[in-house]
């Protein structure tokens, strides 16, 4: 049975029932068109823009991007006024800094590579939307993500968006069934060029040409190293001069400090070898960064902690899945098994390169999102 067809049916059922819906509006084209579509389909739309970050907080004079820009907040408000529906601004800077930014810094200090967008969707944006939706008697919430959601076998299931290049199901693996039950994703069955055309046809010419940002919203210059130095006083001075070593422990040279490297990194090591070397492991307790060859970077077993399952309530037996270890990863076929620790063991059918602890591992069954979790070094419960 086609997952896209099921999603369209669910969307039509939801959208034919007039009522109040709260739409997250960043000021970008995707969330703006999502709000337009729902408004046209008869919903009483309440647009909400979340203020998550101060310009000055990053230590950079450069303009912030996406949901953090004052210009984008104003663009969302103007669009809502022009379309004739209500618009609110929610100040969630305190929660965002406490949970997302602190986690971002702490993960790098722990030698891991964080995944802030997943955490933000799971613990900040959806929770903030649901909370305000309850206060304003909105039955549903909606976002401009390119993904689809349907109900099947008493489960609310996320599937990939029709636009393979824009699909954002990867960053939604942490959503709860309770929140998915109230979620509408209007853009899931469209492609990006269709969304731009919709904006243009509705006389929002400037919006139709609006550029996208792929930066982390609170790291405006896309330089996480400078951001860490700004947030942690004396970080580089304290950690500079740590050892690069190979996989046998042999000293190779000095580095700038372990938080400034990620597993799989090749460029920017500032050390020359006869062949390409990559970051294999990071040891924060000794300030060591392990380097190795491409072959040494490959792994065939991975452990995933804090899993959240979407399609099934639990893994009662081994299951075959396509596993992605980063957003734009094509995915690798694998076998998933649940462990007594609560973690999931992933046995890849072919070796995978650059498995970075802290990043999200996301599992798919064809177009359906099985679930996901955070990559860890081992099956240790307290890692």
Contact 122, 14 (CB under 8 A): no
**Is residue 217 annotated as a catalytic residue, yes or no?**
yes
Q: Where are the alpha helices (DSSP H) in 42-149?
A: 70-83, 93-95, 102-109, 116-119, 126-135
**Is residue 117 annotated as a catalytic residue, yes or no?**
no
CA distance 85 to 93: 25
Of 230, 253, 252, 255, nearest to 242 by C-alpha is: 255
Among the options 67, 68, 117, 120, which is catalytic?
120
Q: Is the four-CA dihedral 290, 293, 296, 297 of positive or negative sign?
A: positive
Among the options 68, 117, 138, 217, which is catalytic?
217
Rg of the chain on CA atoms, in Å: 22
**Residue 41 CB neighbour total at 10 angstroms:** 17
Q: How far is CA 345 from CA 315, 321, 335, 339, 364, in A?
A: 11, 12, 8, 7, 15
Contact 209, 168 (CB under 8 A): no
Would you please indicate which residues are annotated as catalytic (active-site) residues? 120, 217
């Amino acid at each position: 049975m086609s997952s896209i067809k099921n999603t369209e049916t669910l969307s039509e059922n939801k959208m034919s029932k007039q009522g109040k819906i709260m739409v997250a509006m960043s000021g970008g084209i995707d969330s703006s068109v999502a709000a337009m579509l729902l408004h046209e389909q008869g919903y009483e739309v309440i647009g909400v823009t979340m203020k998550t970050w101060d310009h000055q907080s990053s230590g950079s004079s450069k303009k912030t991007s996406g949901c953090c820009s004052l210009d984008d907040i104003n663009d969302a408000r103007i669009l809502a006024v022009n379309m004739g529906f209500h618009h609110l601004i929610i100040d969630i800077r305190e929660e965002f800094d406490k949970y997302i930014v602190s986690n971002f810094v702490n993960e790098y200090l722990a030698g891991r590579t964080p995944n802030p967008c997943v955490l933000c969707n799971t613990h900040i944006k959806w929770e903030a939307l649901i909370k305000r939706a309850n206060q304003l008697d909105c039955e549903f919430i909606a976002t401009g993500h390119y993904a689809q959601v349907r109900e099947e076998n008493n489960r609310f299931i996320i599937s990939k968006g029709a636009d393979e290049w824009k699909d954002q199901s990867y960053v939604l693996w942490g959503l709860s069934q309770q929140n998915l039950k109230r979620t509408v994703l209007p853009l899931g069955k469209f492609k990006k060029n269709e969304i731009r055309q919709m904006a243009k046809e509705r006389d929002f010419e400037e919006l139709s040409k609006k550029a996208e940002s792929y930066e982390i919203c609170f790291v405006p210059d896309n330089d996480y190293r400078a951001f860490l130095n700004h947030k942690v006083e004396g970080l580089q001075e304290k950690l500079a001069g740590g050892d690069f070593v190979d996989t046998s422990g042999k000293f190779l040279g000095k580095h700038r400090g372990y938080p400034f490297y990620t597993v799989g990194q090749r460029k920017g090591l500032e050390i020359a070898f006869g062949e390409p070397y990559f970051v294999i492991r990071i040891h924060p307790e000794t300030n060591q960064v392990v380097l190795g060859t491409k072959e040494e970077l490959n792994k065939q077993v991975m452990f995933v902690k804090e899993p959240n399952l979407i399609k099934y309530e639990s893994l009662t037996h081994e299951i075959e899945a396509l596993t992605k270890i980063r957003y734009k990863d094509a995915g690798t076929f694998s076998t998933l098994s649940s462990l007594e620790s609560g973690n999931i063991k992933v046995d890849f059918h072919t070796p995978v390169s650059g498995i970075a602890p802290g990043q999200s591992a996301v599992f798919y069954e064809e177009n359906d999102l099985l679930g996901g979790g955070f990559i860890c070094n081992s099956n240790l419960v307290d890692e």
